Amino acid sequence: MTTVRAAAGDAPAGEGSGPRQSVTRCLELKGVHKSFGGVRVLQDVDFHLDRGEVVGLLGDNGAGKSTLIKIITGYHQPDRGELLFDGQAVHGLTVQKARDLGVETVYQERALADQQPLWRNIFIGRDISNRLGLLDVGQMRRITERLMTEEMGFTSAVLTPDTTVTGLSGGERQGLAIVRALHFEAEIIILDEPTMGLSLKETEKLLRFVEGIRRKGKSAIFIDHNIFHVYSVADRIVVLDRGRIAGDFPTTRYSLDQLMDIMREVATSGSFETDRPKFADVDQAAVSDASDTGASA
Amino acid sequence: MSAASVASPKERAGRSALTEFTTRYASQIGITVAFLLLWGTFIVLAPETFTSDLIYKSFAQTTPYFAITAMFLTMVIVAGDIDLSFPSIMALGMVGFVWAWDATGSVALGVISALLVGGCAGLFNGLVVTIVGLPSLVVTIGTQFLFRGLTLVLVAGKSFALVETRGEPARELLNAKPFGIPMEFWWLLGLSILAWVLLNRHRLGANTYIIGDNTQTARLMGIPIRRTRIMLFVLVGVAAALAGMMNSLQIVNFYPNMGSGYLLPTLAAVFVGGTSVFGGRGSVYGTFIGAFMIGGIAAGITAVGLTDFWTNLIYGAIILISISIHAILQRRFQR
């Protein structure tokens, strides 16, 4: 195992999910492997997310963050390993299935259709329609209008539900992608680099919004290059390095400085040694199998 | 995310409703103006022809032969695909008609059979495009030959007289002239409304727009891409079979090369109507108007006293002017 478990007690054993965990555990990945054309992108990844929890996912470019979340959203299927939603193993997960299970994602690439009006973008794949598939366009326009003023804070009078995405700024596009994920009462919201291209003020707003997810008892996975952003809102930080989980750190037990040292260590060596004096104050139990790091397949 | 200061609905309404309308429908307004200009020119230059109802009755019958397919081809093109095989499907469907009619003596069964054959041909296109994963342009160039070849082989190159279908109710449904207006036109009208609803007010169309606009987005958001694209090819197949059948029954003859002249007028109607060849944008209304522009030019040219040699030249000019207008309007009004 390459995993450094912080909360050793509730770490999944790997074999058979204990029913005791399924109560609060809304998502679990077990031994997930994924390769693209012979390149191993993810190796033996275990990951879990509890209800009402915000997990920060950190890692360098190419660490496998995007692949990991695309497995959770059903976009990629794992070569090996298991996905459990609310303790139930789900096989052949598709994007549609994942959305039906309450997974909504704010993708790094935004996933918008530029030439289409805002209301069509909000309702991609989730149209309000009757049994014959006929759309209730009026309803969708009204909801979009409300989301624009109440949620996105679009103040410009030239923006209407019929404006195309081409007319939006970077921040506005991001707001649209986030509000879309929010609108459908998602149980699990995945945010892939949501602060990219945002102004300071917009970033603050976003971080407040992530805290709101927890307050509502929903869960989130928050991916960002910026450890300050992640640390300020996450309950737990999972570090991914070259396709493996390099560590799992509750923010209540690690200071930001400690985490930054760990990140630096991971970045240079792919692991980190707990017996180094620098980390002597780190909770030993929490990182008990750190010495295994990099040893096993 | 909380709202800071918010434009009140009143402020938004302050933006003139006219501006809103022209922005949203710039392309449709453009094509309507172009159509009226062309029509006006013909009326001025050939008043006798273009103020009599005869020529309109003729257009109402001949334009649907390609316009019906154009309506559904519009949807395929909005999805970012194309279908060049429909002229061959027009003939292949008729093989289905002749077979079923010959075997059962029922024109109604012949009609159903033709539509089924058309649907299957479209299904075949869709399956090859989505499962083999080839560009539809290439696939339908191939199936265009395949379907035409199949037609020729199946009927051994013969043509069929369809005189005995006269008076049959199923045929009347396609070729009669209630209120003096050909059934072809009523069908075009009904099917245009259907295509408009499907594209603009139905889940199929909603998915079509997203797929044509950005396939990656469609994939990330879990839209059934394969199913949607296949469905659109099937619709074109059925529409082409219907148009081919109307045409054949009208001239009471089926010849295996039927339909081959309709490829370019159909495509021209779609593009003159303002549908983007890149996908994501298109207008059923535009195609409808575009079809009548294309359908009217040939007659108009002869009526104003020009020789037939002018036809292609004027076709080309009108197509180029129309698509340029769309491109300019697009740049101007895209915010």
Please give the DSSP secondary-structure letter assigned to residue B63: T
Successive 10-residue mean pLDDT values, chain B, 335 residues: 41 61 83 92 90 90 96 98 98 97 94 98 98 96 97 94 88 89 96 97 97 95 96 98 96 94 94 92 96 90 85 88 86 65
Are the CB atoms for B235 and B104 separated by under 8 Å?
A: no
Summarised one tens digit per residue, pLDDT across range A40-83 is: 999 999 999 999 999 999 988 888 898 999 999 999 999 999 99
Domain segments of chain B: what residues? 40-333
One-letter identity of residue B87 = P
Give the Cβ contact number of residue B278 at 10 Å: 11
**CA–CA separation, B171 vs B174, rounded Å?**
5
A260 in a structural domain: no
A73/B220 Cβ within 8 A? yes
B207/A178 Cβ within 8 A? no
A46 in a structural domain: no
**CA–CA separation, B70 vs B153, rounded Å?**
27
A124/B217 Cβ within 8 A? yes
A293 in a structural domain: no
A133/B209 Cβ within 8 A? no
B1/A152 Cβ within 8 A? yes
Q: How far, in Å, are B30, B38, B244, B289, B318 from residue B321 at the CA level?
A: 11, 12, 30, 15, 5
Helix B64-78 × helix B183-200 angle, to 10°: 10
Burial pattern A20-39, b for ≥16 Cβ within 10 A else e, equals ebeebbbbbbbebebeeeee
CB-CB neighbors (< 8 A) of A203 in chain B: none
CB contact, 8 Å: A161 with chain B?
no
pLDDT at B30: 87
The shortest C-alpha distance from A102 to chain B (Å) reads 13
A49 in a structural domain: no
B40-333: which CATH number, 1.10.10, 1.10.3470, 1.20.1330, 3.40.50? 1.10.3470
Smallest CA–CA distance from B225 into chain A, residue: A125
pLDDT at A271: 62
A205/B220 Cβ within 8 A? no
Smallest CA–CA distance from B210 into chain A, residue: A113
A112/B217 Cβ within 8 A? yes
A111/B217 Cβ within 8 A? yes
Q: Determine phi and psi for B218, rounding to 5 degrees.
A: -60, -40
CB contact, 8 Å: A74 with chain B?
yes
Distance of CA B85 to the CA centre of its chain: 13
Chain B residues contacting A, CB < 8 Å? 1-7, 11-12, 14-15, 20, 24, 197, 200-204, 206-207, 209-210, 213-214, 216-224, 280-281, 334-335
| Structural domain for A161, as ranges | 114-173
**CA–CA separation, A64 vs B179, rounded Å?**
68
**B4: nearest Cα among A163, A151, A183:** A151
CB-CB neighbors (< 8 A) of A112 in chain B: 214, 217
Smallest CA–CA distance from A175 into chain B, residue: B1
CB-CB neighbors (< 8 A) of B218 in chain A: 113, 124
> Best residue in A116, A162, A166, A209 to probe B by mutation, most B CBs within 10 Å?
A116
Closest partner CB to A153 (pick from B4, B11, B334): B4
**CA–CA separation, A254 vs A261, rounded Å?**
11
Closest partner CB to A107 (pick from B5, B207, B220): B220
ipTM computed for the complex: 0.87
Please give the DSSP secondary-structure letter assigned to residue B80: T
**CA–CA separation, A257 vs A151, rounded Å?**
34
pTM of this structure:
0.86
Cβ neighbors of A55 (< 8 A, separation 6 or more) are A49, A219, A220, A221, A222, A234, A235, A236, A237, A238
> How many domains is chain A built from?
1
Residue ranges in chain A whose pLDDT is less than 50: 1-22, 274-297
**CA–CA separation, A221 vs A207, rounded Å?**
13
pLDDT at A194: 85
Q: What angle do CA B328, A177, A239 make, to 5 degrees?
A: 135
